[in-house]
Amino acid sequence: MSSIDRIDKIIDKYECETGVLIQLLLDIQKELNWIPPEAIMRINKRLKIPVSEIYRVASFYTALSLKPRGRHVVRVCAGTACYVRGGPRILDSVERTLGVRAGETTTDGKFTIETVNCLGCCALGPVVEIDGQYFGKQTTTTVGKLLASYT
């Protein structure tokens, strides 16, 4: 099934509803790992939502991405509690291990690294989240083993 067919199938679920743009974009991203330009154009054409509004929403929410993302999204907490407990060292270790910097995706499309201001579990810092699963009290050694378990 082509990506346009997959996008159309998702749009079909929301065609007769209003106020669904955020959920629609989340569903497209879940299916494709990002929101490609052709998805924005299909939403515009089929649901008559202005392209500028779609881009505004898609670029505002950090949960949405207009760039291709890896199959596994690795988020490293950069909040105060994680920062003082070694968060920058954890981020450096993740970047070295995967060979890309925060905000980038590995060439094989397997991993995307992101930093976040807080993951909401400060007592466990430094924290790394991979695909929605939280891993607390990380060290450069444990985060290396953690990433290796996803390869």
Whole-angstrom Cα distance, residue 46 to residue 140?
48
Residue from 103, 29, 85 nearest 94 by CA: 103
Q: Each residue of 84-114: pLDDT tens digit? A: 999 999 999 999 999 999 999 999 999 999 9
Q: Which helix (H) or strand (E) holds 53?
A: helix 51-60
Regarding whether 78 and 55 lie in a shared domain, the answer is: no
Whole-angstrom Cα distance, residue 54 to residue 36?
12
Regarding whether 80 and 143 lie in a shared domain, the answer is: yes
Residue from 25, 11, 13, 19 nearest 57 by CA: 25
Report yes or no on 96 lying in a domain.
yes
Report yes or no on 50 lying in a domain.
yes
Residue 99, domain CATH:
3.40.30.10
| Amino acid in the structure at residue 57 | V
Domain that residue 98 falls in:
72-148
Report yes or no on 66 lying in a domain.
no
Whole-model pTM over 0.85: no
